[in-house]
């Protein structure tokens, strides 16, 4: 019942919002998202723990083809369900001081995307997973295409083509595995029971990896991301960076590691080196950016590069760190893009060289921005530190040299983030910033909420670690079982 509520509450809310033609649709969207958050928090409260899936629903959908409407939640799924249902109401709240044209369509798309995202995270049938994977793509395409910047059509089409092509590779891999199952089933347990030889694992790995690598994205599959983040409306960028890219990371953990562990072992050195190169590349490019959105876009690529490297190190520390960092990155990057949106609304620019002195005019904004930035660069006692420490620890067990290089890039991140903060917030005011006003009302509530979350999860991360650890251990055990079954 809980799984169905998580899935169909945003779907019902989206249809109600679409049917309204006045300003009330935003309140329907907010109310629906808050109700979904309440269900997600309740599911955490009653979650039994352990590695087993809870709140399962498994009924025939297309029985003749072995397709089941199979939903289930373990600690990995639940963390991402919480992240999604936490960020959606925050993202909706950020629109309350900004009027969208055709806002009933806008809120319909946001809630419909939430439905797709939740479906991805709780699907236990590969075909159902693919359906929700594509459902999550469609709304963000229209959000970017309808409300994006001047070059939105060209950029959005590029993003759509990238992701669709990657998805088709994954679909081919899913169908191939389906025909290998003895009972012709798309169920996750049937896929986990397959004993694929090393060569087959390597081919299937590439099919799935294309979809997940593009979605994250990691170097060199990232080229759609900076332009899309820049052209998308602020809320579209928050949805993309805060939640949607986690689909790719989740896909690796749920569908690649347990089914193709020998392929992971075969490709891991190459992929980790590629990820570290991506971290360095994105960090260097971030140094040169004056557009604040593009700077954060490249910063995000660097952070995801570290998560990708940790994923393919595939030990308990690196995977736990990846899970925690998904939550932390989602909170932090939404905060950063929201601050940039506020600055752009008041000054008309995102160019850091045109700004300065905002801290003197807006001390609350400056403090919140500073805390969000410190979380992004992984200062101890902030949320970013927990995940990065665990990921680097896991990478060290895989390769001390690669861990050292990846750790050095944290210093690069700190430099370009502090440099950005100095240009935007410190120094004298100018004609654009001398009339800047501090955040108040809803904007202040959002920023204070995000900073509190950053500090709480940084000071006391144990509930998150306890939630995900049994499921992560189960993934690692499954990897060992599949590997052993081939000998």
Categorise residue 149: left if φ over 0, alpha if ψ from -120 to 50, beta otherwise: beta
d(CA 301, CA 299): 5
The tens place of each residue's pLDDT in the chain, 487 residues long, gives 788 999 999 999 999 998 887 778 889 999 999 999 999 999 999 998 766 788 888 898 888 888 899 999 999 999 999 999 999 999 999 988 777 778 889 999 999 999 999 999 999 999 999 999 999 988 988 888 888 777 777 777 887 888 888 889 999 999 999 999 988 999 999 999 888 888 999 999 999 998 898 888 787 777 777 778 888 888 888 998 888 889 999 999 999 999 999 999 899 888 898 888 888 888 888 888 888 988 998 888 888 888 999 999 888 999 999 999 999 999 999 999 999 999 998 888 888 888 888 998 999 999 999 999 999 998 899 998 998 999 999 988 888 888 888 887 778 888 889 999 999 999 888 888 888 889 988 999 999 999 999 999 999 999 999 999 999 999 888 877 555 455 4
Whose tokens are 């397959």? That residue is 194
pTM of the model: 0.92
d(CA 74, CA 56): 10
Whether residue 309 contacts residue 395, with contact meaning beta carbons closer than 8 Å, is answered with yes
Name the residue ranges covered by the structural domains of the chain: 2-484
Other C-beta atoms within 10 Å of 345: how many? Answer: 12
> Which among 181, 196, 189 is positioned nearest to 65, based on CA atoms?
181
């Amino acid at each position: 019942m809980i799984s169905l509520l998580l899935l169909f509450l945003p779907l019902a809310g989206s249809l109600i919002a679409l049917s309204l033609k006045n300003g009330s649709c935003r309140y329907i969207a907010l109310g629906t998202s808050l109700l979904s958050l309440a269900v997600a928090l309740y599911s955490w409260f009653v979650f039994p723990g352990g590695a087993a899936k809870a709140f399962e629903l498994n009924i025939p959908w297309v029985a003749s083809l072995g397709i089941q409407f199979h939903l289930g939640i373990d600690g990995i799924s639940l963390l991402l369900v919480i992240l999604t249902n936490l960020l959606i109401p925050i993202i909706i709240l950020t629109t309350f001081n900004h009027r969208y044209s055709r806002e009933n369509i806008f809120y319909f798309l946001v809630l419909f995307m939430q439905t797709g995202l939740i479906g991805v995270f709780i699907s236990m049938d590969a075909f159902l997973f693919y359906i929700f994977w594509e459902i999550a793509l469609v709304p963000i395409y229209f959000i970017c295409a309808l409300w994006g910047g001047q070059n939105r059509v060209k950029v959005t089409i590029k993003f759509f083509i990238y992701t669709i092509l990657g998805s088709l590779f994954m679909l081919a891999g899913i169908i191939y595995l389906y025909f290998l199952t003895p009972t012709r089933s798309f169920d996750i347990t049937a896929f986990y029971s397959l004993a694929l030889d090393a060569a087959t694992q390597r081919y299937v790995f590439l099919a799935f990896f294309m979809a997940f690598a593009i979605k994250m994205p990691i170097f060199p599959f990232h080229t759609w991301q900076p332009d899309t983040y820049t052209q998308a409306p602020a809320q579209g960028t928050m949805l993309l960076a805060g939640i949607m890219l986690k689909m790719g990371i989740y896909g690796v953990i749920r569908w690649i590691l347990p089914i193709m562990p020998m392929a992971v072992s075969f490709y891991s050195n190459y992929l980790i080196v590629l990820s570290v190169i991506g971290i360095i590349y994105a960090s260097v490019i971030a140094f040169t950016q004056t557009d604040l959105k593009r700077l954060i876009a490249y910063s995000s690529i660097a952070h995801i590069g570290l998560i990708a490297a940790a994923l393919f190190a595939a030990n308990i520390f690196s995977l736990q760190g990846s899970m925690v960092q998904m939550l932390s990155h989602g909170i932090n990057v939404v905060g950063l893009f929201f601050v940039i949106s506020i600055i752009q609304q008041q000054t008309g620019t995102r160019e850091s060289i045109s700004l300065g002195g905002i801290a003197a005019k807006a001390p609350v904004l400056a403090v919140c921005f500073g805390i969000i930035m410190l979380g992004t660069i992984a200062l101890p006692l902030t949320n970013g530190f927990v995940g990065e420490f665990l990921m680097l620890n896991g990478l060290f067990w895989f390769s001390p040299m690669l861990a050292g290089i990846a750790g050095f890039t944290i210093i690069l991140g700190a430099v370009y983030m502090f440099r950005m903060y100095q240009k935007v917030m410190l120094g004298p005011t100018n004609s654009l910033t001398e009339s800047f006003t501090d955040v108040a009302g809803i904007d202040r509530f959002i920023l204070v909420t995000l900073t509190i979350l950053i500090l709480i999860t940084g000071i006391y991360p144990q509930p998150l670690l306890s939630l995900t650890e049994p499921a992560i251990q189960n993934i690692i055990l499954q990897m060992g079982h599949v590997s052993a079954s081939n000998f």
